[in-house]
Amino acid sequence: MIAIDTNIIVRFLTADDLVQFKKTRGLFARENIFIPSTVILETEWVLRYAYKFGSADILVALRSLFGLPNVEVEAVDPISWTEKQVS
């Protein structure tokens, strides 16, 4: 299992650079991935402020990422993903 950083997740979710996106897609296809809580929080911030994602778009992106069978996130219980809490 490998731990990844915010840059990899952002490239994977936004596909803003085709070469880097293909590399991250390959990484997600062949590795078991661990995402620390701090990376989740930083990814949310980057998507919101640098990429202008709305709350609902961030929620959809992170849910789809966390739903991948080879992805494990740190301390998922303290982080609530209900739509009611998205502002």
What are 3's strand-pairing partners? 34
Torsional sign, CA 10, 32, 67, 83: negative
Could you give the angle at which helices 55-66 and 6-14 cross, rounded to 10 degrees? 110
Per-residue pLDDT of 5-47, as tens digits, reads: 999 999 999 999 999 999 999 999 999 999 999 999 999 999 9
Q: For residue 64, give both structure tokens.
A: 């789809």
pTM for this predicted structure: 0.81
Can you give the chain as a three-state secondary structure string?
A: CEECCHHHHHHHHHCCCHHHHHHHHHHHHHCCEEECHHHHHHHHHHHHHHCCCCHHHHHHHHHHHHCCCCEEECCCCCCCCCHHHCC
Res 74: pLDDT: 86
